[in-house]
């Protein structure tokens, strides 16, 4: 059984205020003008990380999105992603903060990548604290994970800001 049952029962909230605040910190509050995200090879992005891959509307660099449109699309995109994520989390002991941390990761990397991650595998195995740590760290506990982008030459580049987000997700996850 997946985590979806706890969502249906109201024990876990979709699009929680804590998650929205967290995403605002890392994706941008008041980012109403579509910009080319440098870390995503110029992918047009708006609001709290909305892109053409997630939005029901075109995302065109330079376009202005009202606060109301951002709120509407963010809610739609985040809830859709969380429902997909809930289907791959089988540990019923997962609480709101852990779900929000994994939701942030999925919002940044995509639900399939998060569901296939070592972090979710550990959480599902009942090792929630280890799963939370795995959001930011390799098994050695020293090597950062999920904090790299591939440059135009195909080389992986460490991005301190991405690692900062992973560490913040790991901390939120264990609260």
156 secondary structure, DSSP code: E
pLDDT at 65: 97
Give the pTM. 0.94
Pair type for strands 35-37 and 148-150: unpaired
Other beta carbons within 10 angstroms of residue 94's beta carbon come to 23
Classify 68 as helix, strand or coil: helix
Q: What is the pLDDT of residue 20?
A: 94
Predicted local distance difference test score (pLDDT) of residue 1? 64
User: Comparing C-alpha atoms, which of 84, 67, 68, 79 is closest to residue 31?
Assistant: 67
Report mean pLDDT in 10-residue bins for the chain, 175 residues: 81 94 92 93 94 95 97 96 96 96 96 98 98 98 94 89 97 97
CATH 1.10.530.40 given to domain 4-174:
yes
Do 53 and 31 touch, CB atoms closer than 8 A? Answer: no
Structural domain spans, the chain: 4-174
pLDDT at 167 (0 to 100): 98
> Are 6 and 17 within 8 A, CB to CB?
no
Question: What is the per-residue pLDDT for 151?
Answer: 79
Cα–Cα distance for residue pair 41/31, rounded to 1 Å: 18
Quote the pLDDT of residue 153: 86
Which residues, other chains included, contact 139 with Cβ-Cβ below 8 Å and sequence gap of 6+?
118
| Cα 136 to Cα 88: distance, rounded to the nearest angstrom | 20
């Amino acid at each position: 059984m997946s985590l979806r049952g706890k969502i249906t029962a109201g024990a876990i909230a979709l699009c929680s205020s804590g998650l929205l605040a967290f995403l605002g910190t890392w994706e941008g509050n008041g980012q109403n003008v579509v910009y080319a995200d440098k870390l995503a090879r110029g992918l047009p992005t708006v609001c709290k990380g909305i892109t053409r891959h997630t939005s029901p509307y075109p995302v065109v660099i330079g376009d202005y999105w009202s606060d109301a449109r951002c709120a509407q699309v963010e809610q739609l995109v985040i809830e859709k992603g969380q429902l997909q994520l809930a289907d791959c989390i089988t540990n019923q002991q997962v609480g709101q903060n852990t779900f929000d941390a994994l939701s942030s990761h999925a919002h940044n990397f995509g639900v399939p990548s998060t569901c296939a991650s070592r972090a979710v595998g550990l959480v599902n195995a009942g090792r929630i604290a280890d799963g939370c740590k795995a959001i930011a760290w390799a098994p050695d506990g020293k090597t950062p994970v999920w904090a790299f982008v591939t440059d135009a030459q195909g080389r992986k580049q460490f991005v301190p800001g991405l690692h900062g987000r992973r560490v913040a997700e790991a901390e939120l996850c264990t609260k």
